[in-house]
Structure 1
């Protein structure tokens, strides 16, 4: 009987402690790398634009580098940032997947969970590539049309308001519920393709659920560390705190207030 109890503790306690310990280390490393990257970008400064905002060097190639180099650099920075922002929100779902692998050896189950994580963050990598393409085009338009650049701060505020309004929608409530009850975990298999598919599905659900908050971050400034931390905390809170829908609406109200303040400040400038 004692041996059985020890086996249960080894399977339940140690793997859980190791799992969340590794996740914490990965989060800490990605957060530190993101902080250093943001600090270096801020030290480089940017281009002052009409309307009182500064265009980041993120969206244009550095001297002597190509657009491909700029895209690769942005994608790398973006994915490290996504690990720091999204890992607290997705770790419980990955733990459920790890548990669903059943009595498989912890090393094999861990490997499949890593593959699910790869699939999840691949979704965000694709999003990052699209974000860079859109950001580069908008930057070019702002440089060519000063009148358009002048409206950018107000437009950013409107985007934040719209992101807040979406927090009250049935769409948001439905996808938030989906994130908490993602199907097919109970049939997890020790198969790389199945693990990747599960990660891709996790990423797609997550994108649908919190895409509006990510849009608000992009509008506020993708390298703005306080905004980044607030959005990451909001995504994790609405997903895992009791009464997630009420939490989401509270976040929405705060976003609307912040967006209105951004518009008022832009109009008054």
Structure 2
């Protein structure tokens, strides 16, 4: 029996599998990099366009972004759709650096399980993930527009905004230090595809996996998302800082330690905001 020939065939098959895996990985991350670049460029353009509109001075020595109110010729439904679309593009740019490795592991697991069209299933998982962020964006727009209307109509509410913003930032920093945050951060860092056969159709299972991942991610990022909203949503420096924070706590070693470090910094920023706002009253 030619055991040497069988061994050589096995080695060739292993090398061939490794080559295909490397090629697939390169294509996957290349597509992710292109998507990140396009979404980041679109976000920058939207932020620059928004900055040219200026902000409205409000009682309490702060300014309100014009994105929360309808401009001439625009309707509330149209503004809401525009905001959610802009929000999703922004989330793609901010979340993709930490999401890409998770989606890659999901696609790999599908391939090892013998699933056909693993690439399509991975895409559907990504769609499910960002659908959750789209729903959050719609809720944030409804809340933001309602608060903007109250601030425009009631000066006392407007004057309280700087202090309330400081309290929100302080609370966000404190949330970073809790076991609740640590739990959902572990869920995101250790995200792995499981129960792939729980539903009768693989497409539904992929969407379900993406939605579940998105919900965990929204919970994990609650404090950092609050910072983004308080900063005005379309503030490029805040977006960059939050993106770096999310990516580091998700993919860097000792992510929970990093998250707590950011928490202490955010608590300090919140205290500073409260003291500054109180001094202006």
**TM-score category of the 2 structures, normalised to the smaller one:** over 0.9
Question: How far off its partner does 1:26 sit?
Answer: 0.5
Q: Could you say if the C-alpha distance between residues 208 and 101 of structure 1 is closer, same or farther in structure 2, counting changes exceeding 3 Å?
A: same
For 1:181 and 1:24, the matched residues in 2 are separated by: 22
For 1:178 and 1:167, the matched residues in 2 are separated by: 15
Question: How far off its partner does 1:245 sit?
Answer: 1.2
Q: Are positions 1:35 and 2:44 aligned together?
A: yes
Superposition pairs for residues 73-92 of structure 1, below 5 Å?
73-92=82-101
Q: Are positions 1:226 and 2:237 aligned together?
A: yes
| Equivalences, count | 269
Unaligned runs of 5+ in 1: none
- Tell me, what secondary structure is at the counterpart of 1:55? strand
Question: How far off its partner does 1:186 sit?
Answer: 7.1
Q: Are positions 1:24 and 2:33 aligned together?
A: yes
- Tell me, what secondary structure is at the counterpart of 1:197? helix
Q: Are positions 1:238 and 2:249 aligned together?
A: yes
Unaligned runs of 5+ in 2: 1-7
Contact 1:34 / 1:80 at 8 angstroms: preserved in 2? yes
Q: Are positions 1:200 and 2:211 aligned together?
A: yes
Q: Could you say if the C-alpha distance between residues 229 and 188 of structure 1 is closer, same or farther in structure 2, counting changes exceeding 3 Å?
A: farther
For 1:39 and 1:230, the matched residues in 2 are separated by: 17
Q: Are positions 1:255 and 2:255 aligned together?
A: no
- Which structure: larger Rg? 2
- Tell me, what secondary structure is at the counterpart of 2:221? helix
For 1:183 and 1:33, the matched residues in 2 are separated by: 31
Alpha-carbon deviations, 1:56-91, whole Å to 9, x = none?
111111211111011011011110011011111211
TM-score normalised over the length of structure 2? 0.90
Question: How far off its partner does 1:168 sit?
Answer: 0.9
RMSD: 1.9
TM-score normalised over the length of structure 1? 0.94
